[in-house]
Amino acid sequence: MKNILFLIQCFICFIPFLGKAQTGLGVTPPRNYFVAESGDKLTKKVVVTNDSKTTPLILSVSFGDWKYDENGNNITADPNTLENSCASWITVAPQSYFTLPPGESKELEITVSPPYNKKDTLKVHTAMLYITQTNPVDSYNEKGALVKVSLRSGIKIYHRYPETPNPSIDFIDFSWNKKTEKLELEMINNGNMWTDGTLSTELVNQNNGNKVKLQDQVLYTLPGDKRKIKIEIPQNVPQGKYIASSIFSYGNDDTVKMAELNFNIE
């Protein structure tokens, strides 16, 4: 079953009953990038930490699939069900079930082994590695009821083949939605690798030249992804004719793409 999850960047998922439970689960790094040819193996390490001072954690490792939707949200699914899945290529050592005493850390080795025979022509494959607490602890919710708290942390896995990197983003459309009073920008990743960057937008009032800097947005994309971005306009921006300039900066060399739009706030 596929689920749309709205997660924070490090993709740590908490059951929403924290109460007085003094447990904590840390995993670093939360994203792991693998570049390996078919038939090769590449291993990287992650560190799992029990941040609790009193509670041991019994943890298990499992896998899942994920991708982005057009709004940049994470779509998660069972392992090996999405087209871009590499869940079956992954192994974890030294074990996938272990106990972590309070305050201690454990190093896990993640190995990605792309098969000799490519199953598709996709440039990038992904998977999710979950670290799940299997010994829930007692806590209390906001109403004082006793509940069980369990933690789960997800590590995003990215894989691409070792061809020449070609990060490429193009703008498709830029418009003003009068009904929602938001700018709407659409872009596509037409490169061959994962591409992240920052979208910066500025408004210029054509009547008096006043400028309004809007809030930056950090965007994450995979090859072939189309992304629809809604850009909020502060309510205190006065009516008038404006030019909106949006700049997307991405890649190691800070490649810049720019879009402009003339519109009226009425």
Range(s) of the chain covered by CATH 2.60.40.10: 3-160, 169-265
d(CA 228, CA 121): 25
Instruction: Calculate mean pLDDT across residues 128-153.
Output: 84
Q: Which of 9-23, 153-167, 175-189, 248-262 has the lowest mean pLDDT?
A: 9-23
Query: What CATH number is given for 169-265 in this structure?
Result: 2.60.40.10
Q: Is 3-160 CATH 1.10.760.10?
A: no
Distance CA 21, CA 170 (A): 47
Residue 96 has pLDDT above 80, yes or no: yes
Do residues 204 and 240 lie in contact, with contact meaning Cβ atoms separated by under 8 Å?
A: no
Residues 169 and 221: beta-carbon distance below 8 Å: yes
Q: What is the distance between the alpha carbons of residues 117 and 88, in angstroms, rounded to a whole number?
A: 14
pLDDT at 78: 98
pTM of the shown model: 0.84
Percent of the chain whose pLDDT exceeds 90 = 80
